[in-house]
Structure 1
Amino acid sequence: MEKILKQTDETLSALENTLSKFDSTQVNTVPFKGSWTAGQLAEHLILANSGFLQVINGAVDETDRPADLMLVQIKKDLLDADAKYSSPKEIYPEYKIYNQAELLENLKQIREGLSKAVTNLDLTRTCISYELPVYGFLTRLEAVYFVIYHTQRHVDQLKNICNSLNIN
């Protein structure tokens, strides 16, 4: 419990800290051809992670398998920097001018919500309100780690955007 709480906080804080390095212009600058802006990347994570937070806090059922069964596969898939994925349209960020302060506040609220869920909920239960393609229904534990690994993947991409824009 302590480990997952620490990983959740560290990963989501790293996202906030990296996004904080941008100024209001840079957050909306396309760093290189084919890339999202930092604002779009943050919005993608807000959409994805808030959705996962709803799933984690949503309807659950008993789990008839090890609660961590999918963790190795999720980690392998999401932390493979060479793997390229298309974002589902529900969490595809629109191309617009993003307000950095609003993005950071939304990310903070999600981080606090996940910490509360990890602390107060039975993570061995299976979330039944949403079935992921490839993985099926995840346990709360797997869903939290999906958020962690997905966020880590995009923090690395955000750091690449920083480098491309010469942001220290």
Structure 2
Amino acid sequence: MDIFRLIQDIRRHLKFSFDEVDGWFDKDNGTLNFQPSNGGWTVQQILEHIYLTNFYLLILIEKGSKKAMRNYLNLDLNLEIQCYSFNKEKFEKVGEYGAFDWIRPEHMEPKGELNLSEIRNLISRQYHECLNYLDLMKNGEGLLCKTTMTVNELVKINVYEYIYFLSLHTQRHVTQMKNNELENIKN
């Protein structure tokens, strides 16, 4: 496995995902506050949910990166890189809106406590935080720590995969926001 290519691919995916999300902050109030007929979230609520989910995922990513860097002292990184195989297919469903049931914890549900400007700033910081972790673990160290991920039966994933998961989750909700916008246009 070319770990450097994986890191670059994740970096590109993050940029694409976060750039797409950022564009939604410039939408008109009608689009941002449109309530879809299925009773789902408005675009503004979805943006807040993205921030909240990233917040909690980044706590796990931070812990994982610290542990991975500590493990670097005791584990054979070259062996881990040689044995690693990234199963992209098992992750792809995470980025597809409606691909499977997703029961999110209550603390990741939007409460309307932040304004759009605050959410935009926080999401921008989260993007840079992800890039900093990729820079910190630039030689493959992110393989040296695995953490449980119960969503879509991913089981144990390494720190890079957690960052990719975060980016895929963002993509999932970009699709949801596009669906809202299309329904709003039709009405």
User: Common fold, TM-score beyond 0.5?
Assistant: yes
Match of 1:126 in 2: 145
SS at match of 1:138: strand
Identity between Structure 1 and Structure 2 (%): 19
TM-score by length of 2: 0.73
Instruction: Name which of 89, 103, 106 aligns with 1:89.
Output: 106
Q: How many residues are treated as equivalent by the alignment?
A: 162
Query: 2:4 maps to which residue?
Result: none
Q: Which runs of 5+ in 2 are unaligned?
A: 1-6
1:102 to 95, 111, 118: 118
Q: What secondary structure, in the 3-state scheme, does the structure 1 residue paired with 2:149 have?
A: coil
Query: How far, CA to CA, are the matches of 1:120 and 1:42 in structure 2?
Result: 27
Which structure dedicates a bigger proportion of its chain to helix? 2
TM-score (norm 1): 0.81
The aligned runs of 1:1-168 (5 Å cut-off) are 1-23=7-29, 26-59=31-64, 60-61=67-68, 66=84, 68-69=86-87, 71-79=88-96, 81-94=98-111, 96=112, 98-121=114-137, 122-128=141-147, 131-133=148-150, 134-166=153-185
User: How far, CA to CA, are the matches of 2:127 and 2:164 in structure 1?
Assistant: 13
Equivalent position amino acid for 1:154 in 2: H
State how far apart, in whole Å, the 2-side matches of 1:48 and 1:58 are: 16
Q: CA deviation at 1:76?
A: 2.7
Taking structure 1 as reference, are residues 55 and 92 closer, same or farther at Cα in structure 2, changes over 3 Å only? same
Decide whether the 8 Å contact of 2:46 with 2:177 is kept in 1: yes
| Cα-to-partner distance string for 1:113-146 (whole Å, 9 max, x where unaligned) | 1111112223212244xx3223333201110111
Larger radius of gyration: 2
Offset, 1:66: 2.6
Provide structure 1 residue ranges, at least 5 long, that are not aligned to the other structure. Answer: none
